[in-house]
Amino acid sequence: MAYPNSRITSRALLKEYCLRRLGHPVIEINVDEEQCDDRVDDALEFFAEYHFDGVEKVFLKHKITATDITNEYIDMADPDSDVVGQDYPDGGPVISVRRVLPIANFNAFQTGFFNEEFQMRLQDLNTFTGTSLINWQMSLQNFSMVSYLFTVAPTVLFNRKQNKLYLETDWENKFDADDLLIIECYRVLDPTTNVEVYNDIFLKKYCTALIKRQWGENLKKFEGVQLPGGVTLNGKTIYDEAVDEINKIEEEMNLKWELPPDGFIG
């Protein structure tokens, strides 16, 4: 797909685009540079929070340490951790964790080839004859049911304000140092690496509306002041228009761009 040369690939270009949409340089936009930066941050945060293109689903590797076992949680913000450091240097913060997958240890011979699953499958293969797969399929379903009924997965608790991943299990007896876990989670796309985020049509519209609201809020303090030439400042009109635009854009986000929540059955 070919993109125009004017596509937005940086934070600075996004701010310039939004100001041009509001009338700059023909019209003076009474918004400070820091206020523009704050509104861009707000737009990016909203984009990552609700837009399905604002996050990515990843499987992160973590090697358990003695500190993890003592604390009974995994520090997701630890810069020395594999979760956010060595394997994924360009990733943004983790915003949600779906599950944690343990990595089986096959170093011990009896846990690798003489466990219950291997023996059941081996017996099924020995008794499997003919061309019908019905018995084999029924055996797989039976084993899946047994595994579901008797395997207790630890409850996963994660709060991104704490950046701590808790597993409700007996850490001291369940884990050893250097055990590996795979964390299935959603992580914010880093716009400095994934520069196409800045060119998203929703983000451009929403960021422009936020800057417009800030512009109107600044001018409301000088409501009714008459400038040379008979021009009267009317910040409230700009503010009200921006609020209406923001409400419509956020409603559009909920209807078109936000993923539906996961349902629970049973």
Interval 169-191: pLDDT, tens: 889 888 889 888 899 999 998 89
Confidence at residue 221, expressed as pLDDT on a 0 to 100 scale: 81
* CA-only gyration radius of the chain, Å: 27
The mean pLDDT value for 79-92 works out to 50
Q: How many C-alpha atoms does 139 have within 13 Å on its Cβ side? A: 17
Confidence at residue 215, expressed as pLDDT on a 0 to 100 scale: 94
Mean pLDDT of all residues in the chain?
80
Predicted confidence (pLDDT) at residue 85 exceeds the cutoff of 50: no
Confidence at residue 225, expressed as pLDDT on a 0 to 100 scale: 67
Confidence at residue 131, expressed as pLDDT on a 0 to 100 scale: 57
- Check: CB of residue 215 under 8 Å from CB of residue 30: yes
DSSP codes, 131-167: S--HHHHHHHHHHHHHHHHH--PPEEEEETTTTEEEE
Confidence at residue 231, expressed as pLDDT on a 0 to 100 scale: 66
Interval 217-262: pLDDT, tens: 998 887 766 666 666 677 888 999 999 999 999 998 888 777 666 5
CA dist 20 and 212 (Å) reads 11
The mean pLDDT value for 134-156 works out to 76
Confidence at residue 135, expressed as pLDDT on a 0 to 100 scale: 75
pLDDT over 70 for what percent of the chain?
A: 73
Confidence at residue 256, expressed as pLDDT on a 0 to 100 scale: 79
Task: For residue 137, give every residue at least 6 positions away whose Cβ sits within 8 Å of its Cβ, in sequence order, or none.
Answer: none
The mean pLDDT value for 137-146 works out to 79
Task: Report CA torsion sign: 186, 189, 193, 195.
Answer: positive
Confidence at residue 170, expressed as pLDDT on a 0 to 100 scale: 86
> Torsions phi, psi of 263, nearest 5?
-95, 160
> Does pTM top 0.75 for this prediction?
no
Confidence at residue 42, expressed as pLDDT on a 0 to 100 scale: 96
- Start-to-end CA distance of the chain, whole Å, equals 44
Quickly state the pLDDT bin for 118 (edges 50, 70, 90). low
Predicted confidence (pLDDT) at residue 264 exceeds the cutoff of 90: no
Confidence at residue 110, expressed as pLDDT on a 0 to 100 scale: 42
Predicted confidence (pLDDT) at residue 52 exceeds the cutoff of 70: yes
